[in-house]
């Protein structure tokens, strides 16, 4: 006997739960982050899951656990990959508490110190974005200026020497978080102005307003 297909609401609940638990692959997490920005109903589901899980950290005092991280990673990211999402709500009912306890244990580690990767700014610094690294995550934050006008958006690109630009995401009011290695010297970050929702072609279509080349004087 097979499980009945999930309803659209159950699919949304399952995706929101996976997003909050941090178990989505990078591509699916990026899609979920984009959906949070454009879909108020899905954003409310994410907020609801964050609220449900937030109180479970209260009883845990920070404690060093130098040998715990490899076991947690093996438990959260087993090989072969986790099965498809079908039946996930039932799995969450039986194993959600264990996953939350594992995440609470991760939270006891000292947070990584931020490292500045690059700053993209106009000559007068009226618009600027800072790219910092926190462990395996790069965070892009607007530190000066305002977002694009309604109907447009700032889009971040990474350009390898001699290669086509690759989009890293849209820059809006909230910082953009991506999992990405620090690019080597010679790679360029760039920001262009695109239609709302991002470039329709996968390449910059509007003016490039900010650039920063790693390792440049």
Residue 2 lies in a domain: no
> CA 213, 216, 217: angle at the middle one, nearest 5?
140
CB hemisphere CA count around 13 (13 angstroms): 14
Joined tokens for residue 5: 């297909």
| Same domain assignment for residues 17 and 102 | yes
| Of the residues 83, 106, 129, the one at which a domain ends | 106
Task: Return d(Cα 104, Cα 66) in angstroms, integer.
Answer: 15
d(CA 61, CA 197): 42
pLDDT in tens, the chain (217 residues): 456 788 888 888 889 888 888 888 888 888 889 998 999 888 888 898 888 877 666 655 555 545 666 776 677 667 766 555 555 555 455 555 555 555 555 545 555 677 888 899 999 989 999 999 988 888 999 989 898 999 999 999 999 999 999 999 999 888 999 888 888 888 999 999 999 999 999 899 989 999 989 887 6
Number of domains in the chain: 2
Q: Which residues contact 21 (CB under 8 A, 6 or more apart)?
A: 53, 99, 100, 103
Quote the domain boundaries for residue 32.
8-106
Single residue among 106, 141, 158 that ends a domain in this structure: 106
Residues 80 and 102 both lie in one domain? yes
Q: Is 132 helix (H, G, I), strand (E, B) or coil?
A: strand
Compute φ and ψ for 27, nearest 5 degrees.
-65, -45
Query: Does 72 reside within a domain?
Result: yes
Nearest Cα neighbor of 130 from 209, 62, 58, 189 is 189
Residue 77 included in any domain: yes
Judge if 19 and 90 occupy the same domain: yes
Residues 89 and 146 grouped into a single domain: no
């Amino acid at each position: 006997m097979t499980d009945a297909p999930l309803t659209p609401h159950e699919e949304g609940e399952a995706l929101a739960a996976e997003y909050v638990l941090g178990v989505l692959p990078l591509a699916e997490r990026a899609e979920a982050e984009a959906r949070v920005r454009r879909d108020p109903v899905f954003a409310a589901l994410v907020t609801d899951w964050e609220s449900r899980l937030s109180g479970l950290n209260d009883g845990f005092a920070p404690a060093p656990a130098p040998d715990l991280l490899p076991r947690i990673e093996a438990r959260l990211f087993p090989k072969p990959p986790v099965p498809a999402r079908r039946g996930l709500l039932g799995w969450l009912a039986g194993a959600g508490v264990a996953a939350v306890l594992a995440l609470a244990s991760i939270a006891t580690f000292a947070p990584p110190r931020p490292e500045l990767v690059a700053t993209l700014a106009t000559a007068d610094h009226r618009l600027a974005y800072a790219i910092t690294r926190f462990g395996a995550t790069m965070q892009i934050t607007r530190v000066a200026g305002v977002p694009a006008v309604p109907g447009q958006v700032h889009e971040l690109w990474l350009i390898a020497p001699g290669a086509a630009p690759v989009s890293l995401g849209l820059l809006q009011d909230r910082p953009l978080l991506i999992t990405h290695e620090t690019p080597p010297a010679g790679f360029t970050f760039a920001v262009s102005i695109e239609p709302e929702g991002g470039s329709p072609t996968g390449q910059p279509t509007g003016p490039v307003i900010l650039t920063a080349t790693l390792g440049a004087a």
